[in-house]
Amino acid sequence: MDIGEIEQRLRTRLSEEFEIDIDLIKPDAVILSDLGLDSLDIVDLAVLIDRLFGVKLTREEMVSANTFGKLVSIISSKT
């Protein structure tokens, strides 16, 4: 799966699962402030990523993935 496919699948599911306007989900969008997720949502996001891509992210990876684009890059590097 290429990075474009990962980005599109994750954008769609983030929009559906967390009721985020899909137009807000851009590579430079900060997950906590721009997308409005909180610390509990981040746990749900990690589970969603595991289900969608079969990728388990560490706590450190989740913390370092502060933007949507960084998150997509980390997932891409593990698939």
List, in sequence order, the alpha helices (H) in 3-67: 3-18, 39-53, 59-64
Residue 59's pLDDT is: 86
Per-residue confidence (pLDDT) for residue 1, from 0 to 100: 82
pLDDT for position 69: 95
pTM of the shown model: 0.88
Question: C-alpha distances in angstroms, 7 versus 57, 70?
Answer: 16, 11
Question: What's the rounded Cα separation, in Å, for the pair 36 and 30?
Answer: 9
Low-confidence spans in the chain with pLDDT less than 70: none
Asked if residues 10 and 75 have their Cβ atoms less than 8 Å apart, the reply is yes
